Amino acid sequence: MRVILVRLVLALALGLLVASGYIRAGFLDIPNRLNPFTPLRIADDVSWLTRWKLSRLERDGAQCLAVLDGSQVSHRIVPDRASEEGCGLSNAVEVSQSSVRLSGSFTATCPLTVAWALFEQHVLLPAAREHLGQNIVSVMHFGTYACRNINHRAGGRRSEHATANAIDIAGFVLANGQQITVKGDWAGGDTHQRAFLRTLRDGACRFFDVVLSPNYNEAHYNHFHFDMGSYRACR
């Protein structure tokens, strides 16, 4: 029985390898949404391949920048900065605006910026219309790059902020001028505001590697932490 199972697994792996070769060469015509080799586009519907395509951008800086060039994110390339004591920049961009206004420009790795653009397009904007009945016009954030350890501890490992691979989101401004903040509305908001913020937390986990909310610990009582690090967490 074990021999048969091993043969089936090997046959499946071989079949997938052959099929991927045909797809890559263009011999098999499949819809773009099902083609793993079609470049990621922010505007495309999210599918089970989106996350895989996003992860590929961490190893392909040129393709990552090409994805941003085809998006609504206003950005410029930031020169790499050699890592010093665990802090530095690589394949980073400075973002001045996306499809909404930002409380300030920020510098972030290209993959983090693409993940943010996906989150904004497919989670943030639809959630505001669903739960609050209006559009988001601005995002308030606490920044991205900071050469420090996790939770500002004196010891321990570096935060993803140390390489601009994380962003902290404090709140949002609606079209009518109302502000929805993590600090004030995660627990203190009305039913719609609380549902909106929890939808953002859950939806962010589709694109970011680590998503931390006030449910995680007291250090995150006033913001969401999103990063593209080597760990996975959705809290």
The mean pLDDT of 199-217, rounded to a whole number, is: 98
In whole angstroms, how large is the CA radius of gyration of the chain? Answer: 20
In-domain check, residue 157: yes
In-domain check, residue 133: yes
Give the lowest-confidence range in 30-34, 50-54, 77-81, 112-116: 30-34
Distance CA 30, CA 33 (A): 8
Residue with tokens 């950005």: 75
In-domain check, residue 92: yes
State the pLDDT at residue 233: 96
Read off the DSSP letter of residue 159: P
Domain region containing 95? 53-234
In-domain check, residue 11: no
The model's pTM: 0.87
In-domain check, residue 32: no
- Cβ–Cβ under 8 Å, residues 204 and 119: yes
pLDDT at 11 over 60: no
Nearest to 229 by CA among 155, 170, 150, 154: 150
The mean pLDDT of 152-179, rounded to a whole number, is: 95
In-domain check, residue 16: no
3-state secondary structure of 55: helix
The mean pLDDT of 175-198, rounded to a whole number, is: 98
Separation of CA 58 from chain center = 12
Per the structure, how many domains does the chain have? 1
In-domain check, residue 23: no
Distance CA 28, CA 45 (A): 22
Q: Give residue 29's pLDDT band: very low, low, confident or very high (50, 70, 90).
A: low
State the pLDDT at residue 1: 58
Q: Give residue 15's pLDDT band: very low, low, confident or very high (50, 70, 90).
A: very low
State the pLDDT at residue 85: 84
The mean pLDDT of 91-104, rounded to a whole number, is: 96
pLDDT at 230 over 60: yes
Residue with tokens 């943030």: 124
State the pLDDT at residue 36: 82
State the pLDDT at residue 219: 94
In-domain check, residue 75: yes
